[in-house]
Amino acid sequence: MAFLGLYRMDSETEQTSYFKSGEAANGDLQRQAEQVGCEGTADCLSNGSHGNAQPEGTTTTTRDADFDADNHNGTKKRPRQRREMTLQDMYNQQADYDDDDDDDDSDWEPVQKHVVSEKWFCVNCTMVNFDDVVYCDICGEYKESGIVKHGFFAPNDAQEAAPAQVETVATSKGQESCEQKSALENFTAVGFDERMLLHSEVDMKSHPHPERPDRLRAIAASLATAGIFPGRCLSIPAREITQEELLPVHSLEHIEAVEITSCMLSSDFDISSLHLINSYFTPDTYANQHSACAARVAAGLCADLASAIMSGRTKNGFALVRPPGHHAGVGQSMGFCLHNNAAIAALAAQRSGAKKVLIVDWDVHHGNGTQEIFEGNKSVLYISLHRHEGGRFYPGTGAADEVGILGAEGYCVNVPWKCGGVGDNDYIFTFQHIVIPIALEFSPDITIISAGFDAARGDPLGCCDVTPTGYAQMTHMLSVLSGGKLLVVLEGGYNLRSISSSATAVVKVLLGESTGCELDRVVPSKAGMETVLEVLKIQKNFWPTLQASFAQLQSQWGSFPFQNRSACPF
């Protein structure tokens, strides 16, 4: 059985023992905290409220002359891995910046007194601020924001928010289930259960963990305030996934390692002091007594949504779930992820009759776990768009030349961005020239979106610039596949205002609302075009439909009117 590190933290002592979790990676979701791209904490976070700023050091060198695609030969030397900086390191570093007052000014003001300023953590982005400000220095959110209660509808000031249509978080209890509604093929189903809110970091370290229960609360509040859920969407009954359903995806050792966290209690040999503790698979991937149950519920909801869509009991679905899953591989939990929800949904769809499944992952981080699970499987096509930066952005995988193995080459399609600040134009352009052409040739029976919203404008970890309109448009483009059989599974996203507005925009598309976008001519950034050409050169060997697009874009390289990356296309 695989073991994991156990941490007990209190005001007096911190007892730590480390064990290795199978072959789990020692990485965490913060490789971007290294000194490249948006990983320089000060650079990234100082522009968090805009999300489109490009930190120094992120831009790769490009040529003004004709693009020589032959240099992208698909065989690249992997960069040497460096020591990874964890979330704890990032936040400690941020605190060092905030508290940096090493200069002794007593020579010019001998009576100056040291003023201690209290800190507060932003409810929207979790970043630290001082008490002398009422708006977050990072994301601009009001200190007493009501975003958790009202979602992105909450005003960003001291004004009271308008009463929500539904004041409480939507639960699966008391709502109509799929079995109680007629003509379900015309409805959108939502999977949610309050037990997933119990998965939390019990002992906060120096900073609130970004993967927190408020992520679901803010999205649920936004959907409720908009009258979408409950209201226009159906809920499905929640259940816990079984071990038999997990085994085709994860190893038994991995499943047992997650399950053993249910016993994480400490009593100091005194029943009166019994309390919860956290365990950690990696420095940033925690679990408490309720986490295993939350992970089983999340996986069960995703599996049942996929089955309901395939059987025609519902038109499409949105899985409002956590913990997220796309970093969880065959034998490891990492990157905040315990069980791979999208992979579990894909296999559930196949048990319900799907022969071919498409997974599109637009989370800002590469879904290394999903790729590992399916990289030798020709019945599941995995397409990921993510920051990569030569392997220096977490988790370091997902280069363009990672195309699949064991006869399934071409069934992994990686679109690795070279820098931060990537926005709607680059994503939509990539969908037009890579994602949709390949998907149409593959002709899936169901499409699953690993919908991380950490590439959204304002996200403190992703530092990209995708808007709710951009997410809505990508959802709309994918909805034409698979006869409309589409399941959206929540992954990352750590700015509450960004994820709640983006998720709401996506669900509105599932309900059939128009995006209101005109796509006559979407122009990418220069770095975005470089990435598209790199991927096309590799993938055209497996997908003939790409050859014409590659030749056309390559010929236009020298005269292409590239878009400023900070501009919004719509």
- Give the model's pLDDT for residue 570: 37
When pLDDT is cut at 50, 70 and 90, the band that residue 36 belongs to is very low
pTM comes to: 0.79
Q: What are phi and psi of 191, to 5 degrees?
A: -105, 120
Question: Which pLDDT belongs to residue 535?
Answer: 98
| Domain-embedded: residue 422 | yes
- Adjacent-strand bridge partners of 115: none
d(CA 375, CA 406): 8
pLDDT digits (tens, 9 = 90+) for 371-388: 999 999 999 999 999 999
Please tell me whether residues 138 and 221 are part of one structural domain. no
- Using CA atoms, how far apart are residues 383 and 434, in angstroms rounded to an integer? 9
Q: Which two tokens stand for residue 439?
A: 């998907």
Are 203 and 311 in a shared domain? yes
Whether the CB-CB separation of 98 and 42 falls below 8 Å is answered with no
424 found inside a domain: yes
In tens, the pLDDT along 120-179 reads 999 999 999 998 899 999 999 999 999 999 999 999 887 654 544 443 334 443 344 444
Dist. CA 117–CA 133, nearest whole Å: 10
| 388 in the same domain as 439 | yes
Residues 217 and 132 occupy one common structural domain: no
Q: What pLDDT does 263 receive?
A: 86
- Round to whole Å and give the CA distance between 140 and 276: 34
| 173 inside domain | no
- Let me know whether 252 and 127 are in one domain: no
- We report the CATH number of the domain holding residue 215 as 3.40.800.20
Q: What is the pLDDT of residue 306?
A: 98
The pLDDT value recorded for residue 114 is 55
Residues 6+ apart with CB under 8 A from 153: 161, 162, 164, 221, 222, 225, 226
Q: Is residue 416 part of a domain?
A: yes
Same domain, 392 and 503: yes
**Considering the chain, what is the average pLDDT of its residues?**
80
**What does the pLDDT read at residue 473?**
97
29 within a domain of the structure (yes/no): no
327 is catalytic: yes
Q: Would you say residue 75 has pLDDT above 90?
A: no
Residues 229 and 129 in one domain: no
* pLDDT tens string 193-211: 999 999 999 887 888 999 9
Rounded CA separation 422/430 (Å)? 12
- Between CA 141 and CA 226 the distance in angstroms is 21
Start-to-end C-alpha separation, the chain: 52
Let me know: does 51 contact 458? Beta carbons within 8 Å: yes
Domain span holding position 131: 119-147
Which tokens sit at 466?
A: 């995708």
Asked if residue 245 and residue 125 are part of one domain, the reply reads no
- Is residue 55 assigned to a domain? no
The answer to the question of residue 301 being in a domain is yes
* Buried-state track 429-438, b at ≥16 Cβ within 10 A, e below 16: bbbbbbbbbb
Same domain for 246 and 135: no
Containing 489, the helix (H) or strand (E) segment is strand 486-490
Residue 524's identity, in one-letter code, is P
The answer to whether residue 201 sits within a structural domain is yes
Q: Of residues 327, 339, 366, 433, which has the active-site annotation?
A: 327
Question: 9 near 205, Cβ under 8 Å?
Answer: yes
Q: What's the pLDDT band for 551 if we cut at 50, 70, 90?
A: very high
Q: Are 72 and 531 in contact (CB under 8 A)?
A: no
**CA dist list (Å): 547 to 77, 145, 438:** 26, 51, 11
Number of structural domains in the chain: 2
HEC-encoded secondary structure of 295-346: HHHHHHHHHHHHHHHHHCCCCEEEECCCCCCCCCCCCCCECCECCCHHHHHH
Q: What is the pLDDT of residue 565?
A: 55
By C-alpha distance, which of 349, 312, 308 is closest to 186?
Answer: 312
Query: Angle at Cα 284 formed by Cα 279 and Cα 287, nearest 5°?
Result: 30
One domain for residues 234 and 125: no
**Cα–Cα separations (whole angstroms), residue 505 to 170, 250, 467, 468:** 18, 33, 10, 6
| 138 and 213 belong to one structural domain | no
Do 374 and 483 lie in one domain? The reply is yes
For residues 430 and 386, give the distance between their C-alpha atoms in angstroms, rounded to a whole number: 12
